Amino acid sequence: MELDTLAKRFTKARKDMGLTQEQLAKKADTTQAVINKIEKGKSLMPRHIDRLAKEMDTSPAWLQFGVESLDHLSKENIEVVLELSKLPDDEQKIVKSTIKAFRDARLNISK
C-alpha cells in the first residue's frame, strides 16, 4: 500500500498498533466517528492529531505529511498549516485544490 495520504498513514499506524477504531478513540479520548472520518479521508487536519499520534507511537508530522519532522519547514509554512487546520474540512479541500491548480499552472508555464 502506498502511504501517500493522511488517511492511509493513519490507518496503517492504527493497525500496526493492533487497535480497532473504537480502542484508539477510547485511548485518545475522542470518538470512533472522528477516527473513521480521518481514515475515510474526510478530515485533512485533525484537531487532536498530537494525541492520536502519541497513542499510535508515531509523530504527527509523519501522519499528516509522511515526514518524521517539520524542522525543514519555515515559520511561515507552519503558520499557513496552522491557519489551514482552523478551517472546516470542506474549505480545507478547496484550499488544497487551489494550491495544486496554482502549482500545476506554474509547472506548465515553465515548460
pLDDT of residue 31: 95
Look at residue 58 and tell me whether its pLDDT is greater than 90: yes
Rg (CA), the chain: 15
Q: Helices in 17-69 by DSSP H: which ranges?
A: 21-27, 32-39, 49-55, 60-65
Q: Which of 12-16, 44-48, 68-72 has the lowest mean pLDDT?
A: 68-72
| Residues 9 and 71 sit within 8 Å (Cβ to Cβ) | no
CATH 2.100.10.30 given to domain 6-65:
no
Q: pTM of the full predicted structure? A: 0.66
Closest CA to 96 of 66, 50, 65: 65
Mean pLDDT of the chain: 88
Domain ranges of the chain: 6-65, 75-109
